[in-house]
Structure 1
Amino acid sequence: MASLFLSKFSFFLLLIIITLFFHSSHCDVLTRCHITSLFQFGDSIADAGNVIRIPGAVISAQAWGLPYGETFFHKPTGRFSDGRIIADYIATALSLPFLNPYMDKSGVSFSQGANFAVAGATAMNNSFLEERGIGHVPFNVPLPSQLEWFKSHLQSTYGSKYSTTLRNSLVVLGEFGGVDYWNALAGNKPEPEVRTYVPFIIDGIISAIKEVIQLGSTRILVPGVFPFGCLSSYLTRFADTNPNAYDQYGCLKFYNDFATYHNIELKKALENLRCEFPRVKIVYGDYYGGFRLVFRYASWLGFNPSTLVSACCGSGGRYNAGGCSSASTNVCPNPSQYVNWDGLHLTDEAYHRISNVVINNMLPKFGCYGLRNSSALSSY
């Protein structure tokens, strides 16, 4: 009888945990928050259309054409997904409009923030990468360059009063590092060497945070990287004949361990930074944890457990990774049942669920205790 009681108790405890992770508060008032604008930095995980506006930017994942954007926008927007990205869900949770890409010069509004993320962007400057023989796209806009865009944008949009805007803003810095590591590992750099890059990348992220703090930012979200070993492109590029190299979901343990190492070092650095700037709210965005929770509760969330590590859009093969384009593409009929979209990026629905974890964790830490009609965290 006692064991039966404990079993039922554990079941209900599990339901509560899932609810906290994936469901929303439905309060009508957003209290003590006062976030009136949002600024996003990053790579293709966060790009809302900058790369497709850079002359000569040619990349294998053709986000300027369908099937990118097919699910939510019903047209390509430059986002590397079938629909929305995490930045869109964060904006919705804060009752802000989707951010326009900084490179959009068509007269769109930047009154409530801007997106500076660019697909292919690295944390490190080109000189760092070239000294180590790491490839990068010729149009690379690394983190330091995005910061220059940011400062120029603040001056041109808000003038001398930009610090007031930043006090009422949220800055999302990243994720960064994913492109640096992928370019190095896919370029056959040995993992022990790539591991030596981690302190440099963490230092680059911390330096950028200090810079936005000095400009006046008081709330900063700093995401970690995804579990690389669960991405279809990693699974294709680094396939292993040893079945013990894979975990229960079919992810490569070695590359997940590498991502975990980066995230642990980032969290340590952020803790030190909080001591240095105690009045600034600096929150770690657990993209890795959100991703893994989606895998753990995949069936309950509506994902197909048999295709967790397969890309919805690709050119075939075991994981259908690579070559997501209008010319020769295998696109799944139900992207909402997939986590991987094109091999390195995720579906609208996967971003939706990961965003719930990140947003529910960050809002109380930023002093936000209610959500105003947030579609990002509802409809379950």
Structure 2
Amino acid sequence: MSSTTGARGLISSLGSKETQQCPVAFFNFGTSMTDTGNLLNLLPYSPEVINFAYPENPPYGNTFFRRPAKRYSDGRLIPDFFSLAFGVPLLDTYSSPTVFNFKHGVNFAIGGVGLTSEIAGSKYFLPLQIKQFNRFQNSAFTAQSQPECKPSFKSLPPRETFQLALYTLEFGSSDLRSAFHGGVSSAVITEEIIPTTVKSIIDSVTILYHYQAKNFLIFNVYPLGCSPQTQTLLFSENLPKDDLGCIATVNELTEAYNRELHIKIEDLRTSLPDANIILFDFYNATVDILRNPSRYGFDPSSVLKACCGMAGLGSYNFNPNVTCASEGVKSCENPERYVSWDGVHFTDSFYQTVSKFILSGHYTFPSYDFGEICGLNFSNFPSSATYEEVYGGLCNVWYA
């Protein structure tokens, strides 16, 4: 998608394997795909959450955490795998209600978030997360300028961290999904929603850049037409399928969004020449897994089915009226063999595979192998690992 110039720039900024000057912190902005607790901290057992899923109840979190951990998955999300690979504590949320450690960054992502908020039905869209980041940064700088605040320094990122951190942005899926399910026409999606959504991302990167951010990882959108939720909700419309067995029109519009994002990122590289911007091709990474499930440890017969759900229209094990963790709903016995967890979000195993792609430079443009350059350790990635084994002895407030 782009030249290797950006890769050289990132190496120059973050350092080589010899100097070990790799990301020292992570600031994540996103949706429920990367939300590690903000939504549940702000809206515990709220109607908005209950009508969607029950991530505060089992079987959510059963893998790795062995209990609900405020994540829309059976286990870990991409920010969790990044922390494991870099050997730092799991990224605390901005809304952390009790003990926190922000030395290695903050997670601002929140479930249900959209960029075109009137369509996605959410108040917690990206501009608000950017404002939260600015407030956090200003508060950290203020605290570090006051000697009496010195005891809190160990939980705050040093000033230089904001330039050396990696800023990850995972957006777009909520806006497109809401449009598809809301009956919005393809023309409106193409002419209004896609440009507005992409512009919000580009504007946010520019703002973060002026807040000292230099290194960015931006996700495009995975093939929404393969989602068990989308396949079920649009089942009665008898829409044509592509060669993956997914809804062709939905995937085509998702690809249109991704093309627009790519074009605007190229423009952004020109306007911010000293910024390092990596685009993760979430779409084609997911297509690779769906086309070659056995290669990555997934069951070919289950790649389009939800692990945790109940039968609905079609064969996707998704029922919008009886979602995962509802009374009487059980999860599959082998979630590590499934791509989709609850019909909307992915499994711990899927996120594990995708995280390895990103950190090894696969499906990233430009390609940047964090694993090689930073000497990363993926030994705690397998689903056999548990929180107690990896982080035993630490204060486990993430599920309070």
TM-score of the superposed pair, with normalisation by structure 1? 0.84
Q: Residue 369 of structure 1 aligns to a residue in which SS?
A: helix
| 2:22 counterpart letter in structure 1 | H
Aligned to 2:245: 250
Q: Are the equivalent residues in 1 in contact too, given 2:232–2:316 (CA < 8 A)?
A: yes
Aligned to 1:99: 91
58, 65, 69: which is aligned to 1:77? 69
Aligned to 2:3: none
Does structure 1 residue 264 correspond to structure 2 residue 259? yes
Does structure 1 residue 332 correspond to structure 2 residue 320? no
Aligned to 1:178: 173
Aligned to 1:291: 286
Aligned to 2:34: 46
Q: Distance in 2 between matches of 1:117 and 1:367?
A: 24
Does structure 1 residue 313 correspond to structure 2 residue 308? yes
Q: Distance in 1 between matches of 2:370 and 2:206?
A: 18
| Offset, 1:379 | 9.8
Q: Distance in 2 between matches of 1:30 and 1:38?
A: 21
Q: Distance in 1 between matches of 2:238 and 2:226?
A: 16
Q: Residue 221 of structure 1 aligns to a residue in which SS?
A: strand
| 1:81 counterpart letter in structure 2 | S
Distance 1:357 1:135, change over 3 A: closer
Q: Distance in 2 between matches of 1:379 and 1:348?
A: 7
Residue by residue over 1:260-279, the C-alpha shift from the partner in whole angstroms, topping out at 9 and shown as x without a partner, is 11111111111111111111
Distance 1:378 1:237, change over 3 A: closer
Q: Distance in 2 between matches of 1:302 and 1:92?
A: 21
Q: Alignment length, in residue pairs?
A: 341
Aligned to 1:355: 355
Gaps of 5+ in 2: 1-16, 146-157, 385-400
| 1:105 counterpart letter in structure 2 | P
Query: Percent identical across equivalent pairs?
Result: 30
Does structure 1 residue 228 correspond to structure 2 residue 200? no
| 2:69 counterpart letter in structure 1 | T
Q: Are the equivalent residues in 1 in contact too, given 2:359–2:369 (CA < 8 A)?
A: no
Aligned to 2:377: 373
Q: Distance in 1 between matches of 2:85 and 2:35?
A: 18
| Offset, 1:91 | 2.4
Q: Residue 375 of structure 1 aligns to a residue in which SS?
A: coil
Q: Are the equivalent residues in 1 in contact too, given 2:335–2:347 (CA < 8 A)?
A: yes
210, 214, 221: which is aligned to 1:218? 214
Does structure 1 residue 111 correspond to structure 2 residue 103? yes
Q: Are the equivalent residues in 2 in contact too, given 1:290–1:358 (CA < 8 A)?
A: no
| Offset, 1:237 | 0.9
Alignment of 1:103-142 (within 5 A): 103-124=95-116, 126=117, 129=118, 134=119, 136-137=121-122, 140-142=123-125
| 2:121 counterpart letter in structure 1 | H
Aligned to 2:388: none
Aligned to 1:20: none
Q: Are the equivalent residues in 1 in contact too, given 2:38–2:109 (CA < 8 A)?
A: yes
Q: CA RMSD in A?
A: 2.4
Aligned to 2:59: 67
Q: Distance in 2 between matches of 1:119 and 1:232?
A: 18
Distance 1:339 1:90, change over 3 A: same
| Offset, 1:378 | 7.7
| Worse overlay, 274-283 or 370-379 | 370-379
| Offset, 1:194 | 1.7
| Worse overlay, 343-352 or 287-296 | 287-296
Q: Are the equivalent residues in 2 in contact too, given 1:313–1:342 (CA < 8 A)?
A: yes
Residue by residue over 1:135-172, the C-alpha shift from the partner in whole angstroms, topping out at 9 and shown as x without a partner, is 514xx311001111111111223437865221110010
Q: Residue 270 of structure 1 aligns to a residue in which SS?
A: helix
Does structure 1 residue 209 correspond to structure 2 residue 205? yes
| Worse overlay, 349-358 or 39-48 | 349-358
Q: Distance in 2 between matches of 1:43 and 1:270?
A: 20
Distance 1:373 1:358, change over 3 A: closer
Does structure 1 residue 36 correspond to structure 2 residue 27? no
| Worse overlay, 164-173 or 202-211 | 164-173
160, 165, 177: which is aligned to 1:164? 160
Does structure 1 residue 147 correspond to structure 2 residue 130? yes
| 1:226 counterpart letter in structure 2 | Y
Does structure 1 residue 279 correspond to structure 2 residue 274? yes
Q: Are the equivalent residues in 2 in contact too, given 1:281–1:365 (CA < 8 A)?
A: no
Q: Are the equivalent residues in 1 in contact too, given 2:92–2:102 (CA < 8 A)?
A: yes
Q: Are the equivalent residues in 2 in contact too, given 1:286–1:358 (CA < 8 A)?
A: no
TM-score of the superposed pair, with normalisation by structure 2? 0.80
Distance 1:255 1:223, change over 3 A: same
Gaps of 5+ in 1: 1-28
| Worse overlay, 177-186 or 269-278 | 177-186
| 1:101 counterpart letter in structure 2 | T
| 1:40 counterpart letter in structure 2 | N
Distance 1:333 1:30, change over 3 A: farther
| 1:136 counterpart letter in structure 2 | G
Distance 1:367 1:353, change over 3 A: closer
| 2:70 counterpart letter in structure 1 | G
Q: Distance in 2 between matches of 1:191 and 1:330?
A: 36
Distance 1:334 1:377, change over 3 A: closer
Q: Are the equivalent residues in 2 in contact too, given 1:33–1:368 (CA < 8 A)?
A: no
Q: Are the equivalent residues in 1 in contact too, given 2:35–2:110 (CA < 8 A)?
A: yes
